[in-house]
Structure 1
Amino acid sequence: MKHDTFIGNVQDRGDYASRGEAVSATRAVLTTFGERITEDEAENFASQLPPEIDRHLTEATHAQQFDAEEFRERVADAGEFGAVSDDSENATHAVVSVLVETVGTEEFQNVVSQLPKGEKYGDLLTTPAQ
């Protein structure tokens, strides 16, 4: 998938008024996801993404231990959404849906299944029905 298509899809799915908002959401979610997964997983995902955004996954400090609530907080901070709110979840769902479309459901779920079950990532890292 090309960069413009990826960002355009995030913009549509996140209902963002501008491409800039979609770019910010993409950066925030991919960076946070990159911080949570291992370096190998991040590099695998990044290899399937447009070069303009793959670095958000690979330049993170990987395999940090944090729960789903902190994931929301980090996305909110990185995306400059302010306080943890529906905005960070909206951004996460929009980016995850495009990420799944890009890398495939099975591959994405393989990574998510490795996250601790008690940390409630399931609801956050899913794609709601469109």
Structure 2
Amino acid sequence: MDFDEFTGTVQNRLELPGTGEAVRASRATLLTLGQRLPEGNAADLAASLPMEIKWYMTGAVHDHGQRFDWSEFVDRVTAIEQTDPAEAAYHARVIIDLVHTLVPESDFQQLRDSLPEDDDWGNLFEVVDA
């Protein structure tokens, strides 16, 4: 999958009006996730993604491994995407679901293992009908 296919899939799944909105939602989710994950984990997860998408999790992040909870994750995605928290959380779940289809299961499991189980992070992995 290349960048255009990725953003087109995000746009379609989220029923967004344009590519710009799909790019903004993807960037918001993956940049924030990259900030939360240790650098090596972010690089492993991003390795199978299109180069431009990979950049959001790796090259665009200056401070990996930050400690923040699910609520702060949603707040950060909301601010970057310029949407409301419920929509940002939904967008993040759909984008992570797409990422799950593109990366090796071991890398996705590493993502799950990197996030605390007791801090509502399971919300990120809720099954979505997209």
The answer, yes or no, to whether TM exceeds 0.5 is yes
Counterpart in the other structure of 1:62: 64
**Are the equivalent residues in 1 in contact too, given 2:36–2:68 (CA < 8 A)?**
yes
- Residues in 1 aligned to 2:20 and 2:117: alpha-carbon distance in whole angstroms: 34
Counterpart in the other structure of 2:40: 40
Alignment of 1:22 onto 2:22: yes
Superposition deviation, residue 109 in structure 1: 2.8
- Residues in 1 aligned to 2:3 and 2:48: alpha-carbon distance in whole angstroms: 11
Superposition deviation, residue 53 in structure 1: 1.7
Counterpart in the other structure of 2:91: 91
Alignment gaps of 5+ in structure 1: none
Q: Which moved more, 1:37-46 or 1:119-128?
A: 119-128
Instruction: Give the partner amino acid of 2:68.
Output: F
Runs of 4+ in structure 1 deviating by more than 2 angstroms, as ranges, are 104-107, 124-127
- Residues in 2 aligned to 1:74 and 1:32: alpha-carbon distance in whole angstroms: 7
Counterpart in the other structure of 1:121: 121
Alignment gaps of 5+ in structure 2: none
- Residues in 1 aligned to 2:127 and 2:9: alpha-carbon distance in whole angstroms: 13
- Residues in 2 aligned to 1:22 and 1:4: alpha-carbon distance in whole angstroms: 10
Superposition deviation, residue 86 in structure 1: 1.6
- Residues in 1 aligned to 2:111 and 2:21: alpha-carbon distance in whole angstroms: 27
Superposition deviation, residue 129 in structure 1: 3.8
- Residues in 2 aligned to 1:23 and 1:127: alpha-carbon distance in whole angstroms: 22
**Are the equivalent residues in 1 in contact too, given 2:45–2:111 (CA < 8 A)?**
no
Change in CA separation of 1:25 and 1:100 when aligned onto 2, cut-off 3 Å: same
CA RMSD in angstroms comes to 1.5
Which string of whole-angstrom CA distances, capped at 9 and with x for unpartnered residues, describes residues 33-53 of structure 1?
Answer: 000111001111222111112
Instruction: Give the partner amino acid of 1:108.
Output: F
**TM-score between the two structures when normalised by the length of structure 2:** 0.90
Instruction: Give the partner amino acid of 1:40.
Output: G
- Tell me the SS of whatever aligns to 1:113: helix
**Are the equivalent residues in 2 in contact too, given 1:96–1:127 (CA < 8 A)?**
no
Count of matched residue pairs: 128
